[in-house]
Structure 1
């Protein structure tokens, strides 16, 4: 496949792995890059510049292909700068930026040869990212897992809206987990996709507890809920007694301080690392309704590309004769 995304990033397929807090480490990132996509490691949850440097170097022992480092800058509370310096020193090919105003990041890397991807949830954010100099924007619809936009706009509408509003290439994200989603995204004007939840349910996502992966496989698209909506930072998670309790407390008027312990990264880790569903939670998107296996990343890519080719053939059978006249 050839789009502006593959050309900018130097990859074979326009498929990008999401930043995946606490899960996007070297093994998964390298597997995605080796399969022809763009793998990412997460800076936010590594905790220190030394650990980030170690993880970057570990990726390079596992792949010679391009990869990225994800900066969820809101999570850092301003402390991301020392981590960014490591990425610059290690000359990473690309970074992605999520969670807050990316302007300080762009100011720092202005003279660096680093490709930039910015996650957005609306037209204005996409236009601002382009103005700042982003190479690519990733637009996430409300079907996605983890933190989302506040407007509840679906990927089907939001993707072409953003495509029409900027001149830089767009990646679609949210509700995409197979070749059908990739083909649909291309039809909407995007030049590739980002996937998060789908990559959790792969063999190379070694940090995810098996209980978490099995929950993803056996859940339906209706088995997710939005937490933290009243706090202004909505995020989609697996439905459970734990997450329903969070929502109930929000309805009762709980503040961030009231909820801090039960919505924390530690609570997230208690489930995704330890499988403790009574004292933790896991981020997922509605795409869980489409997932039924835990393949290797390479097998996933092979299946996706086969599905795209099969879908193109189906479309050609439907409208091809008219086009070819």
Structure 2
């Protein structure tokens, strides 16, 4: 496959793995890159510069292909800057930015030979990212897992709107988990895709508890809910009694201080690391309705490309 995304990032397939807080580490990132996509490690949840440096070097022992480092810059209120210095020192091939205004990151990266991606949920953010010098944007529709935009715009509408509004390449995200989604994203004008939830249910996502993966496999597309909407930071999670407790507290006017223990990273880890759905939550997109197995990343890529090619042949027959 050849798009501007494959050219810019030096990858075989225009498939980018999402940042996946607490889960996107060396084994998964390297597997995605080795399969021909762009794997990423998450900087924010590693916490310290030394741990990030160690993880970057570990990726390089597992792959000689390009990879990225994701910076969820809202998570640490400026503390990401020490981590960013490590990524620059280690000369990582790519950096993606999510969660807040990426301007300070781009100012620091000026003159560095590092490719950049910005996650957006609307046209205004995409245009701003292009103005700042982003190499590409990842536009995530409201079907996606984790933190989303506030306007509830679906992927089917969001992607062509963003494509029509910027000149840099767009990657489609939100509700994509197989070759049909890849082909659909390309049909909407995107030049690649980003997937998060689908990569959790792979063998190389070694930190995800089996109970978390099992829930993703057994749940339907209707089994997710949005939390933190009243805080202005909506995010999609697996539905559970714990998630419903958060939603009920929000309905009753709970403040951030009231909710912070329920929505903390520690609460997230209690589920995704320990499998305790009664004391924590797990991010997940509506794409869970399409996931019914836990393959290796290579097997996932092989199936996606095969399915996309079959879809391409079907299109050719329809339009012949």
What TM-score results when the alignment is normalised by the length of structure 1?
A: 0.98
Aligned counterpart, 2:106: 106
**Which secondary structure state, in structure 2, belongs to the residue aligned with residue 76 of structure 1?**
coil
Aligned counterpart, 1:130: 130
Aligned counterpart, 1:171: 171
Unaligned runs of 5+ in 1: none
**Which secondary structure state, in structure 2, belongs to the residue aligned with residue 88 of structure 1?**
helix
Q: Where do residues 280-291 of structure 1 align in structure 2 (5 Å cutoff)?
A: 280-291=280-291
Aligned counterpart, 1:11: 11
Aligned length: 320
**Which secondary structure state, in structure 2, belongs to the residue aligned with residue 75 of structure 1?**
coil
- Give how far 1:158 is off: 0.1
**Which secondary structure state, in structure 1, belongs to the residue aligned with residue 41 of structure 2?**
strand
Instruction: Tell me, in whole angstroms, the C-alpha distance in 2 between the residues paired with 1:313 and 1:115.
Output: 33
2:76 is the alignment partner of 1:92 = no
Instruction: Tell me, in whole angstroms, the C-alpha distance in 1 between the residues paired with 2:198 and 2:261.
Output: 28
**Which secondary structure state, in structure 2, belongs to the residue aligned with residue 236 of structure 1?**
strand
Aligned counterpart, 1:254: 254
Aligned counterpart, 2:68: 68
Unaligned runs of 5+ in 2: none
Aligned counterpart, 1:316: 316
2:143 is the alignment partner of 1:140 = no
Query: RMSD across aligned C-alpha pairs, in angstroms?
Result: 0.3
- Give how far 1:284 is off: 0.1
Instruction: Tell me, in whole angstroms, the C-alpha distance in 1 between the residues paired with 2:23 and 2:133.
Output: 28
Aligned counterpart, 1:191: 191
- Give how far 1:84 is off: 0.2
Instruction: Tell me, in whole angstroms, the C-alpha distance in 2 between the residues paired with 1:105 and 1:252.
Output: 37
Deviation string, structure 1 residues 162-194 (Cα, Å, up to 9, x no partner):
000000000000000000000000000000000
Q: Which 4+ stretches in 1 moved above 6 angstroms?
A: none
Deviation string, structure 1 residues 244-283 (Cα, Å, up to 9, x no partner):
1100000000000000001000000000000001000000
**Which secondary structure state, in structure 1, belongs to the residue aligned with residue 116 of structure 2?**
strand
**Which secondary structure state, in structure 2, belongs to the residue aligned with residue 95 of structure 1?**
strand
Instruction: Tell me, in whole angstroms, the C-alpha distance in 2 between the residues paired with 1:199 and 1:86.
Output: 26
2:219 is the alignment partner of 1:203 = no
**Which secondary structure state, in structure 2, belongs to the residue aligned with residue 74 of structure 1?**
coil
Deviation string, structure 1 residues 6-29 (Cα, Å, up to 9, x no partner):
000000000000000000000000
Instruction: Tell me, in whole angstroms, the C-alpha distance in 1 between the residues paired with 2:77 and 2:166.
Output: 29
Aligned counterpart, 1:277: 277
Instruction: Tell me, in whole angstroms, the C-alpha distance in 1 between the residues paired with 2:272 and 2:118.
Output: 26
